[in-house]
Amino acid sequence: MNLLNRLLQKLNWHSLAAPILVIMVLAMLIIPLPTFLLDILFTFNITLGLIILLVSLYMKRPLEFAAFPTALLLTTLLRLSLNVAAARIILLHGQNGPGAAGQVIESFGQFVVGGDYVVGIIVFAILVIINFVVITKGAGRIAEVSARFTLDAMPGKQMAIDADLNAGIIDQEEAHRRRSEIAQEADFFGSMDGASKFVRGDAVAAILILFINLIGGLIIGIWQHGLSLSTAAHDYTLLSIGDALVAQIPALVISIAAGIVVSTVNTGQDLGKQLIGQVFQNREVLTIVAVILAILGLIPGMPHLPFLGAAALLGGIVWYGKQPKAPEKAPEVPSSNEPEEVTWASVEPLDPLGLEVGYRLIPLVDKAQGGELLARIRGVRKKFAQDFGFLVPAVHVRDNLELRPTAYRINVKGVEAGGGEVFPDLLLAIDPGNVLGKVAGTPTTDPSFGLPAVWINKEDRDKSVALGYTVVDPATVIATQLHQILQRHGAELLGREEVEGLLSHLASRSPKLVEDVIPKMLSPDKLKKVLQNLLNESVPIRDMRTIVEILAEHAPQSQDVDELTAAVRTALGPYIVQGLFPGQSELPVAVLDGQLEHLLQESLRNSNGEALEPGLAQRVLEKAGDLMQQMEAGGMQPVLLAMAPMRAFLARFLARSAPRMRVLSYAEIPESKKIRVVATLGA
């Protein structure tokens, strides 16, 4: 016995089930079968059809029965092979009477249609019409449409999975499982679209096999066995009808299962729970139907008992649904003074953007008290999205009792990025540098631009404006500083989720471009680094189509982020220059001194672009800071032109000493613009 068990395990009968079924089908097409074996196989066919139908009723989503298209093909072949085997027996032994082809065919010919072959033909025709015209045609159409929409929705579903993965909602294993499920879903509906054609072909074959058995049986019965026309017609017709019905009923069952499988909506419940929960859920509908049935039952001449009985049944369902259920008694929990166990729910996520305010500033964020700060913050986010091309996370506003009552603090990823103090009952008058006189108030400094300012009473607003001050309310002060912080920290706020949003937005207009480039030619992470490099130097990323197209051209030659960034900047050169010099055809810029340029080249070459000699670095930083202030004092945008190989290094190097100095390469200047050198940076 142990030897037999080990042999069965080695043979792995589960994997041999399909080959055995196919071999059995082929054998039935060739080898004549005895009647008792034909009865067993017909019974197995009916049993298999019922099992498939019940499995389709209890599944919660189509992929739970992913083997259905193959099962549909195999059961169709099984029925056809049984038709061939039965036709062989009917034509060989049909002269022996209605029981010549076995008890199953005889039972269907005698009991199901009452032994009347005319009724049998009509019943068979009705079953074929129901199967061929209604069920199979509808299921095939649903499968075709589902396959088309599933394939069309695949890119969006893939992007959604990537977005969840980048946001940390799911891990790599879960992402792989979801991608595999999407591919299986597309394969499933595509296979169902093709497999439904087998059922239609099976219905046509059943009609042809019936007429072949009838005509062939009459010819053989009359000419070979000498039967009378009436006897031959009676016996062979009952045999043919019995064979057709015993094969067509399982075919109808399988067709119903196919229709259920392709029309099932993924709700996490089987079909029975969906129907009961959705059809009998609305008590108002059931009440109206019960009243209508009761009225029909009271009309003279109508069948009273069925209509009134149905109305009473629906009324009982409505009444039972309205009865309050006894509340379940909660289990007693032993009291304990021990603290609750720490879980992941105890860990609060870090806000990408946060605004903390003192308790006196709460009216600024309270709509009920006329606060406008929240509306200003939404406006700032919208303006930033329009200027720089991506949407930053929402700003989480909360009060903080640890702050001074009139203080506020702006945090980026939990780190303080700015703040200050505002007075909700006063206005801030900012001195732009050309005021005509002084105004009474509390001196301070504008937190956004560092300009001298004064907190004044609201009554002095008109006077301050007349003197040349720029007067703003406290909400505008906070919103303006928030906008400045967003510009400085845009690269930090651009994460994977934002990049996926940019790609999804671009894919809605240029789907082929995104599909060909990301991630085939360039990974989303490297795209994110290129975009962050641009944002670090205040270059908007609104023109995502140009950015991705340039990356597609250069990614095959190099995957270096700095080189890709340089290529993108060159393509965006006209856009960058327009933002720095709007409406100007002649660009006032500063350039590097020839000797300093040579020293920088040598230093970068010797240090592989990592560092400068400390003394030289200090002198360059001091000169750059002075140059920036001189150009701003002259009303010019501080822009430094440099050779392309050292542009990125200089931009990072000067970021602290001259934060508003923009470093451009000569390749980024459009040919239509003229350069006017107004200063030289030398050491």
275 vs 520: which has the higher pLDDT = 520
Residue 113 domain flag:
yes
- Asked if residue 374 and residue 512 are part of one domain, the reply reads no
Task: Determine the 3-state secondary structure of 507 from DSSP.
Answer: helix
189-198, 328-337, 559-568, 640-649: least confidently modelled range: 328-337
- Asked if residue 121 and residue 23 are part of one domain, the reply reads yes
- Asked if residue 307 and residue 241 are part of one domain, the reply reads no
Q: What is the pLDDT of residue 156?
A: 63
Q: What is the pLDDT of residue 609?
A: 47
For residues 376-402, give the mean pLDDT: 85
State which residues form the domain around 602: 578-683
Cα separation, 346 vs 651, whole angstroms: 43
User: 527-544: per-residue pLDDT in tens?
Assistant: 889 888 888 888 888 888
User: Is 330's pLDDT higher than 70?
Assistant: no
Query: Percent of the chain beyond pLDDT 70?
Result: 78
The last residue of one of the domains, among 461, 491, 521, is 491
Position 518 confidence tier, pLDDT thresholds 50, 70, 90: confident
In 489-572, which ranges are continuous DSSP H helix?
490-493, 496-507, 511-517, 524-536, 544-554, 561-571
In angstroms, how far is CA 99 from the centroid of its own chain?
60
Residue 332 domain flag:
no
- Asked if residue 401 and residue 253 are part of one domain, the reply reads no
- Asked if residue 380 and residue 263 are part of one domain, the reply reads no
Position 644 confidence tier, pLDDT thresholds 50, 70, 90: confident
Tokens of 439: 């105004």
Position 155 confidence tier, pLDDT thresholds 50, 70, 90: low
Are the C-beta atoms of residues 507 and 155 closer than 8 Å to each other? yes
- Asked if residue 662 and residue 563 are part of one domain, the reply reads no
User: 614-636: per-residue pLDDT in tens?
Assistant: 777 788 888 888 888 888 888 88
Task: Determine the 3-state secondary structure of 428 from DSSP.
Answer: strand
In angstroms, how far is CA 452 from the centroid of its own chain?
51
563 vs 244: which has the higher pLDDT = 563
Tokens of 113: 């249609």
For residue 434, the tally of other CB atoms under 10 A from its CB is 6
Query: Percent of the chain beyond pLDDT 90?
Result: 1
Total number of domains in the chain = 5
- Asked if residue 380 and residue 457 are part of one domain, the reply reads yes
User: Is 588's pLDDT higher than 60?
Assistant: yes
Q: What is the pLDDT of residue 606?
A: 66
Determine the Cα angle at 347 with ends 342 and 349, to 5°: 170
CA 20 to each of CA 8, 23, 542: distance values in angstroms, whole numbers, following the listed order: 15, 5, 62
Q: What is the CA radius of gyration of the chain?
A: 41
User: Is 640's pLDDT higher than 80?
Assistant: yes
Amino acid (one-letter) located at 578: Q
- Asked if residue 649 and residue 540 are part of one domain, the reply reads no
Q: What is the pLDDT of residue 408?
A: 92
Are the C-beta atoms of residues 108 and 246 closer than 8 Å to each other? yes
Q: Would you list the DSSP string of 363-374?
A: HHH-GGGT--HH
For residues 400-429, give the mean pLDDT: 88
Task: Determine the 3-state secondary structure of 47 from DSSP.
Answer: helix
Cα separation, 228 vs 234, whole angstroms: 10
CA 139 to each of CA 195, 260, 418: distance values in angstroms, whole numbers, following the listed order: 10, 8, 63
Q: Per-residue b/e over 138-153, b at no fewer than 16 CB within 10 Å?
A: bbbebbbebbeebeee
For residue 576, the tally of other CB atoms under 10 A from its CB is 23
Cα separation, 577 vs 580, whole angstroms: 5
Residue appearing with tokens 């369902």? 317
For residues 269, 272, 273, 274, the Cα torsion angle rounded to the nearest 10 degrees is 70
Handedness of CA 234, 240, 244, 245 (dihedral sign): positive
The last residue of one of the domains, among 519, 553, 571, is 571
- Asked if residue 443 and residue 531 are part of one domain, the reply reads no
Residue 472 domain flag:
yes
User: 171-185: per-residue pLDDT in tens?
Assistant: 677 777 877 777 777
- Asked if residue 369 and residue 236 are part of one domain, the reply reads no
Sheet with 353-357, strands from edge to edge, namely: 396-399, 353-357, 407-412, 415-421
Q: What average pLDDT does the chain have?
A: 78
Task: Determine the 3-state secondary structure of 586 from DSSP.
Answer: strand
Q: What is the pLDDT of residue 78?
A: 81
User: Is 323's pLDDT higher than 60?
Assistant: no
- Asked if residue 396 and residue 268 are part of one domain, the reply reads no
Residue 8 domain flag:
no
185-199, 325-339, 345-359: least confidently modelled range: 325-339
Question: What is the enclosing helix (H) or strand (E) of 353?
Answer: strand 353-357
Find, among 211, 149, 158, 215, the residue nearest to 183 by Cα.
158
User: 7-43: per-residue pLDDT in tens?
Assistant: 545 555 556 666 777 787 777 777 777 777 878 888 8
- Asked if residue 211 and residue 65 are part of one domain, the reply reads yes
Q: What is the pLDDT of residue 53?
A: 81
User: 88-137: per-residue pLDDT in tens?
Assistant: 877 777 677 666 667 777 776 666 556 566 776 777 777 777 776 777 66
Residue 157 domain flag:
yes
User: Is 1's pLDDT higher than 50?
Assistant: no
For residues 216-220, give the mean pLDDT: 80
Are the C-beta atoms of residues 400 and 427 closer than 8 Å to each other? no
Which CATH number is 364's domain given? Answer: 3.40.30.60
Q: What is the pLDDT of residue 432?
A: 81
Cα separation, 29 vs 87, whole angstroms: 11
Q: Would you list the DSSP string of 278-346?
A: HHS--HHHHHHHHHHHHHHHHSTTS-HHHHHHHHHHHHHHHHHHHSPPPPPPPPP-----SPPPP-GGG
Are the C-beta atoms of residues 276 and 261 closer than 8 Å to each other? no
The packing angle between helices 229-263 and 172-219, to 10°, is 170
For residues 201-219, give the mean pLDDT: 77
The last residue of one of the domains, among 462, 491, 520, is 491
Question: What is the enclosing helix (H) or strand (E) of 95?
Answer: none
Cα separation, 406 vs 391, whole angstroms: 29
